[in-house]
Amino acid sequence: MSRISILGTGAMGSALAATLMRNAHSVTVWNRTPARAEPLAAAGARVAASPADAMAEADLVILCVVDYVAARAILEEAQGALAGCDLVNLTDGTPRDAQELADWAATKGAAYLDGGIMAIPPMIGEAGALILYSGSTALFERHKPSLMALAEGRYLGEDPGRAALYDLALLSGMYGLFSGFLHAGALVASSGDRMTDFLTLLLPWLEAMSGTLPDLAGKIDSGLHDRNVVSNLAMQTIALENIVRASREQDVAPDFIDAMRGLATMRADQGHGGDDISGVIELIRRRE
């Protein structure tokens, strides 16, 4: 049984604490608004008077607050307790945020692991929850059983920013799916039809198209966007143009799809009309 302190008892922090208690860990919690920790206290958690108090005798400290500004403020308040601390930060942010906080924590003598939670609070401790980790390998291995009690844990390496990068990349894929779904819904609704009825066509179509992703991923990795092309970019730009034109005719805003149309057209105009759509990535990943 590990002694674990949770700093931040919002919806996610509370879910983490409750799950650890269900798995027989000794849990101490702290929140800047003490009332938010009361349900956890009723369930058996110790409520600390300060972040330093929470960290004092913990084997592992888990920080889960709204952003890295709040995270840094809490840690600065308790920096005297950081020497020798095993710190896991599950705060949303960017790779640079994670790297900067990891560097700062190292100057205070703490081992640091950054994490990205790919779940909503009710999923914590349940099948399907995933937490990405990066940073100190030794810390991850020391506390692996406790971390795995929260969710499936995927360790991505020593770079503290890698978990945040993968977190945001996964969300990017999700929001891309949502944007296509919303645009499709607007088109269907423009004719007076129901999206729930259209979903019987959309879901199988998306599932079928997801089967093309491994091939596109291979082309992205190799840069060989002209290999084994089934539907080239020149053809796909016509489809994209038609979607935009139909959207305007139906009085539907084309904003979501127009960005893709613009990039695909630019890539084709650069002489890559025979490539697969994966080639559009070359316009996105340039560092300028």
Q: Which residue has the tokens 């084994």?
A: 228
So what's the pLDDT on residue 1? 74
pLDDT of residue 59: 98
Sequence-ordered strand ranges (E) for the chain: 3-7, 26-30, 46-47, 60-63, 86-89, 111-118, 130-135, 152-155
Q: Which two tokens stand for residue 165?
A: 């990068």
Whole-structure pTM value: 0.94
Q: HSE of 221 in the Cβ direction (CA atoms, 13 Å)?
A: 6
pLDDT recorded at residue 53: 97
- Taking only the tens place, the pLDDT of each residue in 187-214 is 999 999 999 999 999 999 999 999 999 9
pLDDT at 137 over 60: yes
Residue 102 has pLDDT above 90, yes or no: yes
Q: Which of 40, 61, 59 is nearest to 51 (CA)?
A: 61
Q: Work out the average pLDDT over 272-280.
A: 98
Q: Is the pLDDT assigned to residue 288 strictly greater than 60?
A: no
DSSP 45: P
pLDDT in tens, 29-44: 999 999 999 999 999 9
3-158 to CATH, choices 3.20.20.70, 3.40.50.10490, 3.40.50.720, 1.10.10.10: 3.40.50.720
What CATH architecture is 166-284?
A: Orthogonal Bundle (1.10)
**Side chain identity, residue 14:** S
Mean pLDDT for 66-70 is: 96
Is the confidence at residue 7, as pLDDT, over 80? yes
The domains of the chain are located at 3-158, 166-284
The band of 287, judged by pLDDT with boundaries at 50, 70 and 90, is: low
- In the predicted structure, residue 126 carries a pLDDT above the cut 80: yes
> How far is residue 129's CA from residue 109's CA, in Å, rounded to a whole number?
31
pLDDT tens digits for range 148-162? 999 999 999 999 999
- For the chain, the average pLDDT equals 97
- Paired sense of beta strands 86-89 and 26-30, if any: unpaired
Give Cα separations from 30 to 47, 94, 132, 214 (angstroms): 6, 25, 24, 44
